[in-house]
Amino acid sequence: MTPVLEVEGLEKRFPAQGGRTVHAVNGVSFTINAGETLGVVGESGSGKSTIGRAVIRLLKPDGGQVRFQGRDITRLPESACRPLRSEMQMVFQDPWSALNPRIRIGDLIAEPLLLHTKLPRGERQDRAEHLARRVRLTTELLTRYPSELSGGQLQRVCIARAIATNPKLIVLDEPTSSLDLSVRAGILELLAELKAETGAAMMFISHDLGTVKLISDRIMVLYLGGVVEYAPAAQVFAEPAHPYSQALMSAHLPADPMAVLRRHVLEGEVPSPINLPPGCHFASRCPVAVPDCRRHAPELRPVHGDTAHQAACLRIAEGANRIPELQHG
Ligand SMILES: Nc1ncnc2c1ncn2[C@@H]1O[C@H](COP(=O)(O)OP(=O)(O)OP(=O)(O)O)[C@@H](O)[C@H]1O
């Protein structure tokens, strides 16, 4: 079956001061199948949001290819992208700024139906009620304004809007990061339910590895706009192959309290995305880098012959990719 989303060699650059260029996304490739959630992780500035926006064509890619349901949408003009919006939706981090404060909740939920369907007003309202219940909001909230709802309730409104037109792809950009810890779990539970019910492909962008672990089937680890590891979620958490993934995972505190002793804090300078060095972009911070790493840019390759688990590190072939203090715990 054709994946819902196929991305090959995606490139995105932004102009920076002094006529320079920010290399935000550098040759990123991945696929997402129907019903599958891809978790996208990496530190701030690694290109997560840019990739999310480029695949649903809120941004125009500078290179590579984005295929949605088998159709190349990379260079579609804006007017041709508009009809696609009903099939590709995005949920943003901050529900307060995503919703017009002067529109009632019921109309906000029904808005995508107004924009993308020919349903009459009565049916749109019925459907808004149904959607509100589906995201576990009481229908009495439909007559209220955004300022009268909590952050968690507003994010549920955003999710209701995102699923209103039965999209095939939903990009969730840090959907729980702005919410109190106590409401995050409820939103994640809702997303997991919707994933199963809707069969939509989801791209889940987050800093929070615990959250990503709960919801993702596969994980893509980014560093300076490039993919350093791409694998089934359980594998990335159990056996991260790339030294950057190892450091990232070690910073995530699992239930084991002794894990804090095995944290690896990265040292060294992060190169500027304006002036990327040759070779591996992680080499300046990598505890296991050798001079060759600074000369040759590693490609994503199967880890120990497993094509489902790929990592971009020259040292894997020699079995020298483990950060020593993590190895010995
Ligand atoms: N509109 C823009 N103009 C110039 N540079 C940009 C623009 N948007 C993003 N960038 C740059 O592109 C790079 C990737 O940014 P992006 O926001 O995609 O990263 P991110 O991983 O989502 O970060 P965060 O977790 O902080 O949201 C960064 O260096 C950022 O400064």
Residue nearest to atom 2 of ligand 1 (CA): 14
DSSP 8-class letter at 320 = -
Describe the strand order of the beta sheet including 20-32 as a list of residue ranges. 20-32, 5-16, 63-68, 71-72
In a shared domain, residues 176 and 31: yes
CA of 300 to the centre of ligand 1 (A): 23
Residue nearest to atom 31 of ligand 1 (CA): 45
Which of 166, 197, 213 is the endpoint of a domain? 166
In a shared domain, residues 211 and 311: yes
Give the residue from 278, 251, 281 showing the smallest Cα distance to 266. Answer: 251
DSSP 8-class letter at 31 = E
In a shared domain, residues 138 and 240: no
CA of 154 to the centre of ligand 1 (A): 25
CB of 47 within 6 A of ligand 1: the answer is yes
In a shared domain, residues 261 and 300: yes
Instruction: Report the alpha-carbon distance of residue 134 to residue 18 in Å, rounded.
Output: 50
CB of 145 within 6 A of ligand 1: the answer is no
What is the structure's pLDDT at 326? 67
- Domain limits for position 111: 95-166
In a shared domain, residues 195 and 270: yes
State the ipTM, two decimals.
0.98
CA of 108 to the centre of ligand 1 (A): 28
CA of 56 to the centre of ligand 1 (A): 16
Q: Relative to the CA of 205, which ligand 1 atom is closest? A: 22
What is the structure's pLDDT at 328? 46
CA of 144 to the centre of ligand 1 (A): 35
Asked if residues 180 and 152 have their Cβ atoms less than 8 Å apart, the reply is yes
Residue nearest to atom 12 of ligand 1 (CA): 24
What is the structure's pLDDT at 257? 61
In a shared domain, residues 58 and 157: no
CA of 48 to the centre of ligand 1 (A): 8
CB of 186 within 6 A of ligand 1: the answer is no
- How do residues 145-155 score in pLDDT, each as one tens digit? 999 999 999 99
The model's pTM = 0.94
- How do residues 87-120 score in pLDDT, each as one tens digit? 999 999 999 999 999 999 999 999 999 999 999 9
Token pair 């919703």: residue: 99
Describe the strand order of the beta sheet including 301-303 as a list of residue ranges. 88-91, 169-173, 201-205, 37-41, 218-223, 226-232, 306-311, 301-303
In a shared domain, residues 190 and 279: yes
- How do residues 297-322 score in pLDDT, each as one tens digit? 999 999 999 999 999 999 999 999 99
Q: Relative to the CA of 12, which ligand 1 atom is closest? A: 12
- How do residues 219-271 score in pLDDT, each as one tens digit? 999 999 999 999 999 999 999 999 999 999 887 755 566 666 667 778 888 99
Count of domains for the chain: 2
In a shared domain, residues 201 and 295: yes
Instruction: Report the alpha-carbon distance of residue 258 to residue 55 in Å, rounded.
Output: 40
CB of 48 within 6 A of ligand 1: the answer is yes
In a shared domain, residues 179 and 55: yes
Share of the chain above pLDDT 70, in %: 95
